[in-house]
């Protein structure tokens, strides 16, 4: 797809590249393979701009994040951090604030549309923080996960610690975060961090299959359904979450074209012809 296909062009990227395996799917490749796809401070803001564009671009439905080379993402750029913290480092290099959306603009992202992580290898530190808050995670069999921050005197502060316990439970979260040990893909799947484990080189293909299945659904229904799950994930009670969905989302959805089209297609026994969401 060319930029002219979109209502606005995608942002320019230095440390990542994008492609479109289907008209509705955005594929993001972290592209610092020599640095194991560690993300620098400018890289976080590049990705934040990209996800913001993705959420507002009507034709796109699902994003997939993966990495070039043998790593998905090995975390923060520690060389950058080390240089910034030298005694006589310029003040301009000492500002290390990442966006509110977190590490890689994903570890604390709310967003409107789903992101699937296709983990193709090493996934440490911020890489693991990103997958913990992703919507779906596909991992290759040789992939490994970890939060090794405690081993080097830092802390995983991009949202992983409080979210990890909701997925894997207190004891597993404590073991993973306090020891910093490596968790293989199959164990991560057993713990609930990973949806599916596939063979080497197949994570993106599997993610595309799932993204295509999501893209067949009503774009309005997908956005509101995801919002409901996010509310539960963030600790909103079942009754309160349902009330918020009804008051803030359902009325707009009920008046939209896609709900009418979905019901009509079912009654008429045909495939639905959905339009981009206006929610």
> Which residue bears the tokens 């507002």?
56
| Chain position carrying tokens 């803030």 | 248
| CA atoms 151, 156, 160, 165: torsion sign | positive
Are 150 and 103 spatial neighbours (Cβ–Cβ below 8 Å)?
A: no
Alpha carbons 276 and 207: distance in angstroms, whole number:
21
Residues forming the active site: 129, 149
Q: Which residue has the tokens 């067949």?
A: 216
Q: What is the DSSP letter of 174?
A: H
Q: How many other CB atoms are found less than 10 A from the CB of residue 120?
A: 27
- Which class for 33: exposed (0-12), middle (13-18), buried (19 or more C-beta within 10 A)? middle
* Three-state secondary-structure class, residue 184: strand
> Is 154 in contact with 96 (CB distance < 8 Å)?
no
Contact 123, 148 (CB under 8 A): no
Judge contact between 64 and 22, C-beta under 8 A.
Answer: no
């Amino acid at each position: 797809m060319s930029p002219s296909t979109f209502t606005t062009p995608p942002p320019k990227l230095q440390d990542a590249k994008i492609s479109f395996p289907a008209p509705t799917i955005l594929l993001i490749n972290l592209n610092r393979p020599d640095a194991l796809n560690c993300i620098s401070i400018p890289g976080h803001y590049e990705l934040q701009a990209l996800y913001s564009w993705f959420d507002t671009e009507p034709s796109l439905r699902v994003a997939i994040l993966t990495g070039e080379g043998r790593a998905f993402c090995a975390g923060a750029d520690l060389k950058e951090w080390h240089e910034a913290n030298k005694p006589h480092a310029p003040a301009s290099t000492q500002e290390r604030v990442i966006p509110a959306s977190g590490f890689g603009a994903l570890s604390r992202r709310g967003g409107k549309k789903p992101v699937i992580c296709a983990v193709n290898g090493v996934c440490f530190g911020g890489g693991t923080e990103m997958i913990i808050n992703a919507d779906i995670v596909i991992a290759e069999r040789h992939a490994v996960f970890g939060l090794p921050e405690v081993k080097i005197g830092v802390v995983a502060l991009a949202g992983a610690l409080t979210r990890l316990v909701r997925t894997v439970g207190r004891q597993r979260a404590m073991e993973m975060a306090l020891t910093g040990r490596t968790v293989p893909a199959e164990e991560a799947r057993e713990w609930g961090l990973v949806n599916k484990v596939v063979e080497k080189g197949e994570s993106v293909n599997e993610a595309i299959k799932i993204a295509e299945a999501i893209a067949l659904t009503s774009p309005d229904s997908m956005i509101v359904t995801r919002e409901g799950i996010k509310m539960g994930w963030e600790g909103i009670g079942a009754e309160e979450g349902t009330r918020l969905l009804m008051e803030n989302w359902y009325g707009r959805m009920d008046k939209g074209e896609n709900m009418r089209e979905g019901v009509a297609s079912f009654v008429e026994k045909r495939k639905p012809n959905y339009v981009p969401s206006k929610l």
